[in-house]
Amino acid sequence: MEQEIDTNELGESIVRVLKTIYDPEIPVDIYELGLIYDVMVNTDYEVKILMTLTSPNCPVAESLPREVEEKVKTIENIKDVDVEITFDPPWSKDLMSEEAKLELGML
């Protein structure tokens, strides 16, 4: 019998991992920064992450998505991770969490 996937628990694990990845120019993790738009998990434990960057000219445009993919793949049972970059909608400070704004002295 196949084990039922607990998407809530898996989603929380993914978010915990995403909160360990920081934008190198801003001392806030990419999740609180609002760079993660969506996380989708299917029943085959394949993950798709839709994310953005602070700008299209971001110096970590190549390395940051790769870091996200590699770190999420370390979660037990995850078989594959696909990270897709989008600029629609473009990132803005409005996407940041209250925690991130507080950390950066914006509140």
* Model pLDDT, residue 5: 66
* Model pLDDT, residue 7: 75
Paired tokens of 29: 């993790």
Q: Is the pLDDT reported for residue 2 higher than 70?
A: no
Residue, of 55 and 14, whose pLDDT is higher: 14
Instruction: Choose the weakest-confidence range: 58-67, 68-77, 83-92.
Output: 58-67
User: Cα dist. 19→43, 50, 57, 88, 91 in Å?
Assistant: 24, 15, 23, 22, 18
Looking at residues 3-17, what average pLDDT do you find?
83
Per residue in 77-107, pLDDT (tens digit) is: 999 999 999 999 999 999 999 999 998 898 7
